[in-house]
Amino acid sequence: MFEYTLANGVIVSPGKEVYTGNLSVKGENIVSPANSKNSGAVKISLKKKSFVYPSLINTHDHLQGNYRPPVGPKKGSYYLTWLPWDQDFKASKTYEERSKLEREDLYALSGYKCLFSGVTTVNDHFPHNLNCQIIPTLPIRAIQDYCIAHECSTYDLKWGDGIEIEHEKAVKNKWPFITHLAEGFDDEAMHGIEMLEKLKILDNHCLFVHCIAFSDEDINKVAKAGASVSWCGFSNMFMFNVTAKIRKMINAGVNLTIGTDSSATGSANLLAELKYDRDLYRKLYGEDLSAEKIFEMVTINSAKALWMQDRIGSLDEGKLGDILVMKAKNDDPYENLVNANMKDIELLVLAGKPIYGEMRFLDIFQGNLGKSGLPQGYTQIKVGSKAMFVKGDPAGLYKEIRKKIGFKKKLDYLPFEPAGEPDQNEGGK
């Protein structure tokens, strides 16, 4: 059982004052430092030079789709709905290249896309029969407790057992019901909320993705129902040249979260998405979206949207030890997060267990290291100038991907080059 204290860190948790102090973990959970006085417990000082956050939550991704480069409309044109994009994608070189890989390869890449951006919890928006066997193998947590529809239209992909049945299961199990909604501007896309009202399933179990065609009335109905929205600004602008009415959603009190969508249309990872979405908000409204608000969107708001706020999303005692430690490059902890890149991550912890970090944090494993000097099931990579331990073997995966597709593919969400190969990703962007 893991038992350790991150001492003298700057602790940043939603809805609480930032303070310099200690954060203790025992087993899978965060505990009061007073309850972690075992003489054998590890104590690592952060020397007031690191911010300690809850690890990040991505409320919308398609883990089979995280291959690059993205595929979009022809120059000067944009899509009316998702369907013509799907046709373009399946005719693209990206899809042809991706087809040389196994699903397991793509999911493994997606796990590391999350990990290297400080994400430990993600929703893979695919039906359970397609992902239930594979997501437990990932180095991060892809949630399994959710109900699903692809979209609320006659031309959706009919995921799940039907909208009404899936929603009923969500209510019974206290899970989220997740669906794309209003992703486009045809007649059906623009009346998604009305359809859900007729089915009597508009409530706080609903997590709606995209919502670019919402009317002001739709926004007010969603807020009143306590439903959540996953904002995917990059993907929206790339495909449709428009995004959701974010300022109106905030003002209405909608529980707003952020998702990346897949890298086939979206940003490289969640850290890149935060920067893009903030800049987009400034361009749209001529005012700032505060870094603290963005922090809430990818922590406690997202936990609430996934019906997991009792377990993750903040650094409260008793919650799972999902922790992100980042280098302090900015005096403001929220600005520090929103402006961070992959090289700024010092430690990432999932349910108390380190899954990625600088070598100084290996002390947490209390000597349970193999001949390599690493825990069993971990490898070492170099990110920028830093040696890092990581769960699994992303360098081996990267090499295997390149072998299968036949050339030295660069994936911008992997911030390293395998040993023996020149560093193409210097900068960790």
Q: What is the pLDDT of residues 172-186, one digit of tens each?
A: 999 999 999 999 888
User: At 231, which amino acid appears?
Assistant: W
Distances in Å between the Cα of 292 and the Cα atoms of 12, 21, 296, 315 are 10, 20, 6, 15
Question: What confidence score (pLDDT) does residue 1 get?
Answer: 85
Distances in Å between the Cα of 49 and the Cα atoms of 315, 326, 330 are 19, 9, 10
- The answer to whether 312 touches 13, Cβ cutoff 8 Å, is no
Cα 365 from Cα 374, distance rounded (Å): 9
Distances in Å between the Cα of 233 and the Cα atoms of 36, 66, 191, 272, 273 are 42, 17, 21, 11, 8
Q: For 87, phi and psi rounded to 5 degrees?
A: -70, -45
What average pLDDT is seen over the chain?
94
pLDDT at 74 over 60: yes
- The answer to whether 305 touches 257, Cβ cutoff 8 Å, is yes
pLDDT at 156 over 90: no
Name the pLDDT band for 154 (thresholds 50, 70, 90). confident
CA geometry: angle 224, 227, 230, nearest 5 deg: 130
pLDDT in tens, 187-208: 888 899 999 999 999 999 999 9
pLDDT at 370 over 70: yes
- 259 Cβ neighbours under 8 A, 6+ residues apart: 58, 59, 60, 61, 123, 209, 230, 231, 232, 266, 273
Copy the structure tokens of residue 63.
């883990």
pTM value is 0.96
H/E run at residue 208: strand 206-210
